[in-house]
Amino acid sequence: MSSTLTFLSVIWYQLTFNPKPPPPEIKAEGETAIVTGSNVGLGFEAAKQLASRGLARLILAVRDISKGEVAKAAISRENPKCQIEVWQLDQDSWDSMSAFARKAQSLDRLDILLLNAGMKRLEYTRSPAGHETHIQVNHLSTALLSLLLLAPLRKTAAITGKPSRMTITASILAFIAAVDGITHPKAEIIPTLDDPVSFKPGVDRYCLSKLLNILWTRELAKHVDAKELVINMCNPGWCMSEFHREDPGAAAAGKYLGWSSEQGAHLLVDAALQHPESHGEYLSEQRVRSVSGFVLSAQGQVAQKRIWDETLALLREVVGQDHPIIRSDRLFL
């Protein structure tokens, strides 16, 4: 899919598609959900909508506990029967993510995981965790959490007799990303992207980080049985929220094209609760959609496997080769 066609398709569905909440009979009665990045914007709205579906327990995974408590109070007012907890999660910190995952292992059940936290900047910055910030927060941290939280999701599936659900927030902008940084046959991908020389000011690195989300999710789904866990990714559309605070151009255009965060959250909740056939699939406009030609190409498949191998090797170094969740013989079927 060319960048021109992608941009035109964005304009088309933003102007013509009306996101709607899943049918009222779609419930999550008695279930437990984790939503990352859930104190504002899409994450907050998705958490609130999930709570309204009958959740027994909702965990707001946030960087700032005080802001999480404000979000908790707002959701609790509308959903007093839902037990809401605020857990600290900093995706710029390996220690924070490991501590969060250890805490999650103690849950009696985990039915829904919405990995929504992300960021966008127009200039190069380096995360305290050591990598270019988009690569750290949007890709590496999301990948680590997707692995560390497999165990409680699988445990719940064994108890309930139905698949648990993992949804990763994606973006159609992934399909306009420049792929030269991930297709060079002789250069490691992550060190290349960490190099400031590789960074072009603007949105391209954000777009590329969302492409990495898609490639990672597609590969992860190959290693997980859909009878235990349905893993998908969702494009929530162009929504007006604090997410665009460092991109004034997107914020300005969003006044004409953007949906509300509530509308975008309809798509995330739809992906998390419906589409049982969507394992490893990309959802947009509340339906399964095809990914780009690059993702499906032989070159894309090579890049997907390389990103998987590099990311897994890096994460094993971070948490330790003997970590019971990361070791390959314990991770997959």
| Residues noted as catalytic | 171, 206, 210
Strand order in the sheet with 282-284: 83-88, 57-62, 32-36, 112-115, 164-169, 229-235, 282-284, 287-289
Judged on CB neighbours under 10 Å (0-12, 13-18, 19+), 228 is middle
Rounded to an integer, what is the distance from CA 200 to the centroid of its chain? 24
Distances (CA, A) of 298 to 12, 175, 209: 29, 16, 20
Q: How far is CA 151 from CA 101, 108, 193, 195, in A?
A: 10, 12, 30, 34
| DSSP-derived secondary structure for 73-119 | HHHHHH-TTSEEEEEE--TT-HHHHHHHHHHHTT-S---EEEE----
Phi, psi of 285 (to 5 degrees): 55, 35
* Position 170, amino acid: A
d(CA 261, CA 64): 20
Coil/strand/helix, residue 40: coil
- What secondary structure letter does DSSP report for 325? T
**Residue 31: how many other CB atoms lie within 10 Å:** 22
